[in-house]
């Protein structure tokens, strides 16, 4: 079971946590990250989700996305998700999100990164990702 830290509307940690799937209390928010990897030609690495995933089966999506688990910063969550989903090591320790989108139950940090990833070097498929490709 995935556990998430809860933030207030100003993005301060509240000290509370909730499990994925639990109902949010009013004024409770969680952190989600997305990473978009671009190559030198301006193409984005996109992923096709596995057919057995609960949501968006076999659909194409941006490079990587997911929720931060309890104790993670935005950067740590992004690094972990990239490693888990496509097997690529990314260092975001000195990076800030390119943009943050506020949504009903949280904050969604987007990292826009230029990195000429060699697809054949990725450990695919993974539990979440069926395949990847560069797309304009």
Cα distance between residue 6 and residue 99, in whole Å: 20
Collapsing DSSP states into helix, strand and coil, what is residue 50?
coil
Count of domains forming the chain? 1
pLDDT at 55: 84
CA proximity to 94, closest of 108, 113, 72, 75 = 75
* 36-60 mean pLDDT: 94
Query: 33 falls in which pLDDT band (50, 70, 90)?
Result: very high
Model pLDDT for residues 55-85, shown as the tens digit of each residue: 889 999 999 999 999 999 999 999 999 999 9
CA–CA separation, 25 and 3 (whole Å): 15
Domain region containing 76 = 3-135
Contacts of 80 (CB under 8 A, 6+ apart): 69, 72
Under 8 Å between Cβ of 103 and 7: no
Q: How far apart are CA 99 and CA 74, in angstroms?
A: 12
CATH number of domain containing 53: 3.90.79.10
Residue range 120-136, pLDDT digits in tens: 999 999 889 999 999 99
Q: How far apart are CA 134 and CA 136, in angstroms?
A: 7
For the entire predicted model, the pTM comes to 0.93
Distance of CA 29 to CAs 1, 48, 100, 133, Å?
18, 28, 14, 33
**What pLDDT is stored for residue 119 in this prediction?**
96
Burial of 90 (0-12, 13-18, 19+ CB in 10 A): buried
Percent above pLDDT 90 for the chain: 90
């Amino acid at each position: 079971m995935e556990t998430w830290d809860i933030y207030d509307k100003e993005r301060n940690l509240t000290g509370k946590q909730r499990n994925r799937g639990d109902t949010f209390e009013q004024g409770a928010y969680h952190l989600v990250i997305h990473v978009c990897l671009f190559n030198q030609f301006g193409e984005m690495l996109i992923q096709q989700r596995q057919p057995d995933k609960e949501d968006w089966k076999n659909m194409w999506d941006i490079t990587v996305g997911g929720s931060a688990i309890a104790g993670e910063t935005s950067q740590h969550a992004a690094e972990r998700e990239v490693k888990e989903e496509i097997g690529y090591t990314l260092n975001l320790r000195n990076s800030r999100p390119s943009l943050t989108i506020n949504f009903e139950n949280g904050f969604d940090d987007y990292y826009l990164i230029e990195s000429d990833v060699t697809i054949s070097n990725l450990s695919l498929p993974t539990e979440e990702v069926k395949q990847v490709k560069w797309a304009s």
